[in-house]
């Protein structure tokens, strides 16, 4: 790296552009930085941006519009930014058309995860994203678009381990993503399943469940709806409010382990 | 119940909650709202740091487990720094010095305990930093997982382990001293079977002559058997010579083992019989283990 010194300035510039709503200009700043300092500089800036800014920036792009940021965002930065996505969803839209938000979310996740052919990066992205509570909720929202297929996939993954084909009775776009997630992080996959089907303690229980073919029949076990999950994600948006430290005693920080 | 014997008594289970929890229950009478708020802040800060370092600070489950570890860590520290069993003294300590200091004290106990050998077998992994880190975490989780609503025996288990490990350390140190003073020059080996080294030294010392043998091969052992059968030395005199050379710090460990082997060591007992050297060597392996080299060099 020739001059890391420019990066803080670039971080500030991009933050301001994004917050001002000028995604196009932020993206231009990125490509200029990539030309001058290489891709590494962009990844570096993306990892130092506050997660809510990253969320706002990435939310402006999906499968249809690609951006340098979607190609280069570090897995951890993306995983943190997912927590803030729900902040922008209007209440009445969650109420009236939750599927549309969920599909938008799917496009976003799919766009980032499948932006490159690099399987290693894909697995890192999925593993980081599903390592958090809000990440589990994000994936559960996507699965709630096709719960029946997800149950089938879950059963198949249990039976065949990593040699899954993803053949389900009706093809759904979420299936390939589910299989990738299960390959990338078994824990994350389980967490997302249990977020969708909270009554189960272990995904093995899910294999025995049969979905009824009659769409009007009430499911016999608890499954969270897309709308409910969207609200759950909304509640997990971290607040910026921080309380001032009380008392005069200074915290010794990680010295507590010394 | 009719089938139960008449003298069967109900089990008496005394609930003993973690010290921190007992102290917190006194907050309403003993602390101001301000002091209670500070304590709550500190405890959540510790929980966050424990989650980041030992569990997972990004899931509710990880933070839940960190909470248990925080309760145990602070409780362990309080048990150590606060005299007696008084809960009022514990809450006084928390208000005056803070929960972080109590946790630090508890974590230091775990660190120091981890630095002691677990048993008398030392292997190369015992000095490996990666394994050391993992063992520290395991020990911390083992002793300091404390459910705020349930009895916690972490401090008693800590004391038990401390006693056991201190003993193991004195045995290891005695064996290391014997190795350094081996009659053919110091024995350098990352693996150590401390009981084996001591057994070897004691059995060979029975021959007399004041040589310290911390490592022997089959050939040396056969020579030893032949010499003992020929000269019929007084074992006690040989042991007195050995003990006279050993520094005071290690004498107790070695004297204790001499006392055991005096009556029960099958090698020394059978040496006076017609047992073949091969049979004796097999007996010897039971005592010296890996410290006895079974093949001719």
Residues B186 and B234 in one domain: yes
Is B41 in contact with A255 (Cβ distance < 8 A)? no
Confirm or reject contact between A257 and chain B (CB < 8 A). yes
Is B49 in contact with A256 (Cβ distance < 8 A)? yes
Closest Cα to residue A110, out of A159, A177, A53, A168? A177
How many Cβ atoms are within 10 Å of B278's Cβ, its own excluded? 9
Do strands B216-217 and B292-293 pair parallel, antiparallel, or not at all (unpaired)?
parallel
Confirm or reject contact between B291 and chain A (CB < 8 A). no
Pick from A131, A243, A254: which is nearest to B49 by CB?
A: A254
pLDDT of residue A241: 56
Q: Is residue B8 part of a domain?
A: no
Distance CA B66, CA B137 (A): 12
Selected residue with higher pLDDT from B286 and B140: B140
Confirm or reject contact between A242 and chain B (CB < 8 A). no
How many Cβ atoms are within 10 Å of A254's Cβ, its own excluded? 10
DSSP H helices in B82-153 = 87-97, 99-115, 129-144
Burial class (CB in 10 A: 0-12, 13-18, 19+), A121: middle
Q: What would the mean pLDDT of B286-294 be, rounded to a whole number?
A: 83
Distance CA A47, CA A81 (A): 10
Distance CA B119, CA A225 (A): 55
Tens-digit pLDDT profile for residues A159-181: 777 677 666 666 778 888 888 89
pLDDT of residue A219: 56
Distance CA B160, CA B80 (A): 14
Tens-digit pLDDT profile for residues B124-159: 888 888 888 899 999 999 999 999 999 999 999 999
pLDDT of residue A104: 87
Structural domains of chain B, count: 2
Is B34 in contact with A246 (Cβ distance < 8 A)? yes
Confirm or reject contact between A240 and chain B (CB < 8 A). no
Distance from CA of B201 to the nearest CA of A (A): 40
Distance CA B171, CA B250 (A): 8
Q: What percent of chain B has pLDDT over 70?
A: 97
pLDDT of residue B1: 46
Inform me whether the pLDDT recorded for A53 exceeds 50: yes
Return the SS3 of B117. coil
Helix (H) or strand (E) holding B193: strand B192-193
Tens-digit pLDDT profile for residues B214-231: 988 888 899 999 999 999
Distance from CA of B139 to the nearest CA of A (A): 14
DSSP H helices in chain A = 7-19, 23-37, 39-48, 51-59, 68-72, 75-85, 91-96, 98-113, 119-129, 133-143, 147-160, 174-184, 186-196, 203-206, 226-235
Q: Which residues pair with B192 in a beta bridge?
A: B122
How many Cβ atoms are within 10 Å of A214's Cβ, its own excluded? 7
Residue A3 confidence class, pLDDT cut points 50, 70, 90: low
Domain boundary among B94, B117, B152: B152
Distance CA A65, CA B291 (A): 70
Q: What would the mean pLDDT of A234-253 be, rounded to a whole number?
A: 71
Residues B141 and B60 in one domain: yes
Q: What would the mean pLDDT of B67-80 be, rounded to a whole number?
A: 96
Radius of gyration of chain A (CA): 20
A-contacting residues of B 250-269, CB under 8 Å?
none
Q: At what angle do helices A174-184 and A119-129 cross, to 10 degrees?
A: 90
Pick from A133, A243, A249: which is nearest to B98 by CB?
A: A249
Residues B221 and B133 in one domain: no
Of all residues in chain B, the one with the smallest CA distance to A137 is B59
Residues B183 and B128 in one domain: no
Of all residues in chain A, the one with the smallest CA distance to B57 is A132
B-contacting residues of A 116-145, CB under 8 Å?
131-133, 136
pLDDT of residue A14: 79
Q: Is residue B13 part of a domain?
A: no
Do strands B121-122 and B292-293 pair parallel, antiparallel, or not at all (unpaired)?
unpaired
Residues B189 and B288 in one domain: yes
So what's the ipTM on this one?
0.73
Token digits for A193? 């399943």
Distance from CA of B49 to the nearest CA of A (A): 7
Inform me whether the pLDDT recorded for B278 exceeds 50: yes
Q: Is residue B157 part of a domain?
A: no
Residues B233 and B268 in one domain: yes
Tens-digit pLDDT profile for residues B87-126: 999 999 999 999 999 999 999 999 999 999 999 998 888 8
Selected residue with higher pLDDT from A179 and A248: A179
Q: How many residues are there in chain A?
A: 258
Q: What would the mean pLDDT of B272-288 be, rounded to a whole number?
A: 87
Return the SS3 of B130. helix
Q: At what angle do helices A133-143 and A186-196 cross, to 10 degrees?
A: 60
Is A246 in contact with B49 (Cβ distance < 8 A)? no
Domain boundary among B87, B120, B152: B152
Residues B106 and B40 in one domain: yes
Is A131 in contact with B46 (Cβ distance < 8 A)? no
Inform me whether the pLDDT recorded for A212 exceeds 80: no
Confirm or reject contact between A187 and chain B (CB < 8 A). no
User: For A165, what's the count of Cα atoms within 13 Å in the CB-facing half-sphere?
Assistant: 3
Q: Is residue B276 part of a domain?
A: yes
Closest Cα to residue B243, out of B260, B258, B233, B231? B258
Q: What percent of chain A has pLDDT over 70?
A: 81
Closest Cα to residue A185, out of A132, A240, A117? A132
Distance from CA of B241 to the nearest CA of A (A): 45
Residue B297 confidence class, pLDDT cut points 50, 70, 90: very low
User: Rounded mean pLDDT of chain A?
Assistant: 80
Selected residue with higher pLDDT from B249 and A159: B249
Inform me whether the pLDDT recorded for B66 exceeds 90: yes
Q: Which residues pair with B292 in a beta bridge?
A: B216
Is A249 in contact with B38 (Cβ distance < 8 A)? yes
Distance CA B194, CA B179 (A): 10
Residues B143 and B182 in one domain: no
**Contact call for residues A109 and A79 (beta carbons, < 8 A):** no
Is A256 in contact with B59 (Cβ distance < 8 A)? no
Is A249 in contact with B45 (Cβ distance < 8 A)? no
Residue-number span of the structural domain to which B189 is assigned: 173-293
Token digits for A257? 């382990």
Q: Is residue B14 part of a domain?
A: no
pLDDT of residue B98: 92
Closest Cα to residue B229, out of B274, B289, B279, B166? B274
Q: What would the mean pLDDT of B64-87 be, rounded to a whole number?
A: 94
Confirm or reject contact between A254 and chain B (CB < 8 A). yes
Of all residues in chain A, the one with the smallest CA distance to B103 is A256
Distance CA B183, CA B227 (A): 17
Whole-model pTM over 0.90? no
Residues on chain A touching B100 (C-beta within 8 angstroms): 251-252, 256
Residues B249 and B211 in one domain: yes
Residues B31 and B141 in one domain: yes
Distance CA B142, CA A157 (A): 34
Q: Is residue B3 part of a domain?
A: no
Residue with tokens 């890391």: A4
Residues B50 and B125 in one domain: yes
Selected residue with higher pLDDT from A38 and A221: A38
Distance CA B285, CA A222 (A): 63
Residues B70 and B138 in one domain: yes
Distance CA A112, CA A73 (A): 9
Distance from CA of A20 to the nearest CA of B (A): 30
Distance CA A71, CA A50 (A): 18
**Residues with Cβ < 8 Å from A161, sequence gap 6 or more?**
none
Q: Is residue B237 part of a domain?
A: yes
Q: Is residue B166 part of a domain?
A: no
Distance CA A177, CA A114 (A): 9
């Amino acid at each position: 790296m020739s001059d890391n010194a420019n990066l803080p300035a670039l971080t500030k510039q991009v933050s301001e552009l994004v917050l001002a709503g000028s995604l196009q200009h932020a993206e231009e700043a990125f490509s200029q930085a990539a030309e001058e300092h290489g891709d590494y500089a962009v990844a570096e800036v993306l990892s130092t941006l506050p997660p809510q800014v990253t969320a706002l920036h990435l939310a402006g792009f999906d499968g249809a519009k690609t951006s340098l940021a979607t190609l280069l965002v570090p897995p951890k930065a993306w995983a943190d930014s997912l927590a803030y996505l729900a902040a922008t969803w209007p209440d009445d839209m969650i109420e009236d058309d939750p599927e549309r938000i969920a599909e938008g979310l799917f496009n976003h996740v799919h766009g980032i995860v499948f932006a490159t052919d690099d399987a290693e990066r894909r697995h890192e992205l999925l593993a980081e994203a599903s390592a958090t509570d809000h990440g589990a909720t994000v994936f559960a929202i996507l699965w709630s678009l096709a719960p029946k297929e997800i149950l089938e996939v879950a059963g198949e993954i249990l039976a065949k381990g990593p040699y899954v084909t993803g053949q389900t009775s009706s093809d759904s776009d979420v299936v390939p993503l589910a299989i990738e997630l299960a390959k990338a992080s078994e824990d994350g996959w389980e967490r997302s399943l249990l977020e969708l089907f909270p009554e189960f303690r272990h995904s093995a229980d899910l294999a025995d469940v049969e979905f009824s073919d009659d769409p009007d029949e009430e499911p016999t076990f608890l499954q969270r709806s897309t709308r409910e999950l969207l609200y759950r994600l909304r509640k997990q948006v971290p607040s910026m409010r921080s309380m001032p430290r009380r008392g005069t005693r200074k915290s010794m920080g990680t010295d507590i382990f010394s | 119940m009719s089938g139960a014997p008449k003298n069967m008594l109900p089990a008496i289970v005394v609930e003993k909650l973690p010290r921190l929890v007992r102290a917190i229950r006194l907050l309403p009478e003993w602390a101001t709202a301000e002091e209670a708020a500070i304590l709550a802040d500190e405890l959540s800060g510790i929980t966050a740091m424990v989650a980041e370092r030992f569990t997972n600070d990004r899931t509710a489950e990880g933070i839940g487990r960190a909470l248990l570890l925080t309760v145990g860590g602070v409780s362990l520290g309080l048990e150590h720094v606060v005299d007696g069993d008084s809960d009022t003294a514990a809450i006084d300590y928390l208000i005056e010095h803070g929960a972080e200091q109590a946790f630090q004290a508890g974590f230091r106990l775990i660190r120091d305990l981890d630095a002691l050998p677990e048993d008398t077998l030392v292997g190369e992994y015992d000095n490996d930093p990666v394994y050391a880190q993992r063992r520290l975490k395991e020990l911390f989780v083992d002793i300091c997982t404390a459910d705020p609503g349930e009895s916690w025996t972490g401090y008693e288990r800590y004391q038990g382990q401390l006693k056991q490990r201190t003993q193991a350390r004195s045995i290891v140190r005695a064996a290391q001293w014997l190795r350094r003073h081996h009659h053919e020059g110091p024995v350098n080996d990352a693996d150590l079977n401390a009981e084996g080294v001591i057994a070897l030294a004691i059995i060979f010392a029975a021959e007399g002559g004041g040589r310290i043998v911390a490592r022997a091969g089959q050939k040396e052992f056969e020579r030893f058997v032949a010499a003992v059968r020929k000269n019929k030395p007084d074992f006690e005199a040989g042991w007195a010579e050995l003990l006279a050379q050993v520094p005071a710090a290690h004498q107790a460990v070695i004297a204790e083992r001499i006392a055991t082997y005096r009556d029960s060591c099958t090698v020394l007992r059978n040496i006076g019989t017609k047992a073949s050297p091969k049979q004796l060597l097999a007996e010897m392996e039971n005592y010296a283990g890996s410290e006895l080299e079974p093949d001719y060099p």
